[in-house]
Amino acid sequence: MANLDVLVVGGGAMGLATAWRLARRGREVLVVEQDGIGGLAGASHGGRRNFNPHFPHEPHLGLLRPAFDAYRELEAESGRTLLPGTGIVSHGAGLPAELVVRRMRESGLAGRDLGIEVLGADEAERRWPGIRFDGTVLHTPEAGGIRADETLLALAESAVRRGAEIRLGVRAEIERVEDEGAEVVLESAGTGARERVRARTLVVAAGAWTAAALGKHIGLPRLRVTEENPVHFPRYDAGLDWPSFNHWAGLEDPRYREDYWHPVLYGMLTPGEGVKAGWHAVGAETDPATREFLVDERVVDHLRRYAEDWLPGVDASRVEAVACTYTTAPDGLFILDRVGPVVVLAGFAGEGFKFAPLIGRIGADLAEGGPGPEAFSLSRPGLRT
Ligand SMILES: Cc1cc2nc3c(=O)[nH]c(=O)nc-3n(C[C@H](O)[C@H](O)[C@H](O)COP(=O)(O)OP(=O)(O)OC[C@H]3O[C@@H](n4cnc5c(N)ncnc54)[C@H](O)[C@@H]3O)c2cc1C
């Protein structure tokens, strides 16, 4: 039986980021991914994600500045541009604009290379005529679209360049977890070949499959997996500038009476695919083992009607839906913790990608026996039922 230093289960954004950080520190790392890099069943696929600094919620807010810096570090190491500075705008009756500006400044997030500009709706519509704005508009030019597919490649290439090994099409079955390490069977999807290995440290970054992979070995809170359906719309004018965008509905406000509203809409331009728009966290529960990649036509209809009213720059009649999962802990916060030889990185819901290179650093710290952030531990009060 082969003895490994660190085995990472899952080659999505979080597993690859952890492998990169560990390999940089000279650790011997093997990543196994049951699919390919950016496979459609995982949550990290697609061309774009948003780096959205316009939310006032701790403790995730406190991770944003180091996450932005971690992206710059990964760009420098990989030679790829990952945060091209498309900009991001937030507006709507439910946007706590003053609070967001204050928190961005107090937390040290705004300043240096990450700004915050406050605009009126008329000025914003002059700059970005593809979007109809409501109320105060916040704009951060340096944030916005993350090149998600490039980020996965940057992480994988940088990890391999630093000595990590990544095996694709290999599924891990965790057989035993003891204080000194974990015993795992690795099965190749192509050949069916099985190999039993022993890892001193096991990092589980298995997204929607976390409970299936690990649930019988350590106590986990219930992780809710939901099928989310954002859509892409074609643009009328490819020459228009499109920042990423968030529209915070004011559900108590009479102007938000239409029944298509949900609390927060996010969107961005994805080159080659169109303008993406999605309601944040409205999907129905699903099971990754039996998932049929269903599209909820009601959600799609709500997005189409939203676009008719608020996105004059897109053809709302032509819509392509996407199916993607959120995996969410009971209190909505990430899980970044270690139990014996097992590091658990889970519950990234619809917010994880912007933090990925930083989560990799936290995952590597945990794998090396360091402490993790208390707010994201498995023993925090929010996970006690
Ligand atoms: C529609 C949508 C929009 C989003 N928008 C944003 C956004 O704008 N900004 C943002 O910051 N975040 C966003 N997110 C969230 C972000 O994409 C996710 O939080 C992040 O990608 C999760 O990464 P992960 O590595 O935890 O999971 P995954 O990418 O799912 O990776 C887990 C991997 O583990 C593999 N695996 C599982 N079990 C095994 C096993 N036993 N053996 C081998 N491999 C295994 C799976 O195949 C999978 O590839 C969005 C998510 C979705 C779905």
Q: Of ligand 1's atoms, which has the minimum distance to the CA of residue 174?
A: 41
Predicted pLDDT at 157? 98
Alpha helices, H only, the chain: 13-24, 60-78, 97-106, 121-127, 148-161, 210-214, 297-310, 356-367
* Closest atom of ligand 1 to CA, residue 48: 8
Q: What is the phi/psi pair of residue 357, to 5°?
A: -65, -25
Q: What is the mean pLDDT of the chain?
A: 96
Whole-number Å distance, alpha carbon 42 to ligand 1 midpoint, is 5
> Does residue 209's CB lie within 6 angstroms of at least one atom of ligand 1?
yes
Residue 137 region, left (φ>0) first, then alpha (ψ -120 to 50), else beta? beta
Cα distance between residue 47 and residue 86, in whole Å: 14
pLDDT value of position 357: 98
Is 229 in contact with 323 (CB distance < 8 Å)?
A: yes
Checking if the pLDDT of 384 tops 90, the result is no
Which residue(s) pair with 201 in the sheet? 6
Phi, then psi, of 157 in degrees rounded to 5: -60, -45
Is the CB of residue 130 below 6 angstroms from any atom belonging to ligand 1?
no
- Nearest-Å Rg of the Cα atoms of the chain is 21
- Rounded Cα distance between 376 and 333, Å, is 7
Can you state the angle between helices 148-161 and 60-78, rounded to 10 degrees?
A: 60
Q: What is the pLDDT at residue 245?
A: 98
Is any ligand 1 atom within 6 A of the Cβ of residue 360? no
Q: Class assignment of domain 1-68+146-221+331-385?
A: alpha beta
**89 in ligand 1 pocket by Cβ < 6 Å?**
no
pLDDT for 1 equals 86
Other C-beta atoms within 10 Å of 368: how many?
15
Q: Can you tell me which atom of ligand 1 is nearest the CA of 229?
A: 1
Residue-wise pLDDT for 143-192, tens only, equals 999 999 999 999 999 999 999 999 999 999 999 999 999 999 999 999 99
Ligand 1: centre distance to CA 373 (Å): 21
Rounded CA-CA distance 205/165 in Å is 16
* Closest atom of ligand 1 relative to the 39 alpha carbon: 49
Listed by start position, the domains of the chain span: 1-68+146-221+331-385
For the cut 80, the answer to whether the pLDDT of residue 385 exceeds it is no
Residue 32 near residue 167 (C-beta atoms within 8 A): yes
340 pLDDT more than 80: yes
Which of 162, 166, 185, 100 lies closest to 137, judged by CA?
100
Average pLDDT in the 329-358 region?
97
